[in-house]
Amino acid sequence: MQTIFTKAMARNVFLGGAGFFLIAYLALSYDTWQQIPKRDHANLITPAVAEGKYLVDTNDCMGCHTINGEGAYYAPELDVSYKTYGPAFIRAWMMSQPTGAPGRRQMPNFHFTQDQLTDVIAYLQWVGNINTNGWPPNKQG
């Protein structure tokens, strides 16, 4: 049996497939757009959280740490640090750096004020409450 695949048939297959995937893309994009407000807790962003994010960004914390899987894998993930260690430990840890322990990676001391540390901790608390739908699957602090 011989089948002839004409240019018109090829065009129709292409346009049909492109149309199908365009509709699927738009539907999934719309669903994502609807889900984001339920997951990001933007209503909980306070001035302290915004200042904490600014400090984390300007001091390049993600050059060593990760937040929700983004950043470097040199140091612990920051999005689980608030729940894992708590605010008192984070404050003490950041104030005591570098520890000078031989053979260990050293975090620099950024010489944050107490208010700046409070802001960074508020940001870490906010980041830790983002609903990432279980991603990444193996979070370690």
Confidence (pLDDT) at 111: 94
Q: Would you call the peptide bond into 98 cis, given omega within 30 degrees of 0 as the criterion?
A: yes
Q: Tens of pLDDT along 51-65?
A: 999 999 999 999 999
Phi, psi of 71 (to 5 degrees): 120, -160
User: And the tokens for 112?
Assistant: 């944050």
- Dihedral over alpha carbons 23, 27, 29, 33 (to 10 degrees): 150
Q: Tens of pLDDT along 104-133?
A: 888 999 999 999 999 999 999 999 988 877
Cβ atoms of 104 and 95 within 8 Å: the answer is no
- Within 8 A by CB and 6+ apart from 36, the residues are none
Q: pTM for the complete prediction?
A: 0.75
Tally of CA atoms within 13 A in the half-sphere of 39 that contains its CB: 11
Q: Count other Cβ atoms within 10 Å, centred on residue 51.
A: 17
The beta strand positions in 24-140, using DSSP E, are: 66-67, 70-71
Average pLDDT value for the chain: 90
Confidence (pLDDT) at 22: 98
139 vs 141: CA distance, rounded Å: 7
Query: Is 36's pLDDT higher than 90?
Result: no
Q: Would you call the peptide bond into 136 cis, given omega within 30 degrees of 0 as the criterion?
A: yes
Cβ atoms of 45 and 126 within 8 Å: the answer is yes
- 39 pLDDT band, cuts 50/70/90, is confident
CATH superfamily label, 41-141: Cytochrome c-like domain (1.10.760.10)
Q: Tens of pLDDT along 69-97?
A: 888 888 888 988 999 899 999 999 999 99
Query: Is 27's pLDDT higher than 90?
Result: yes
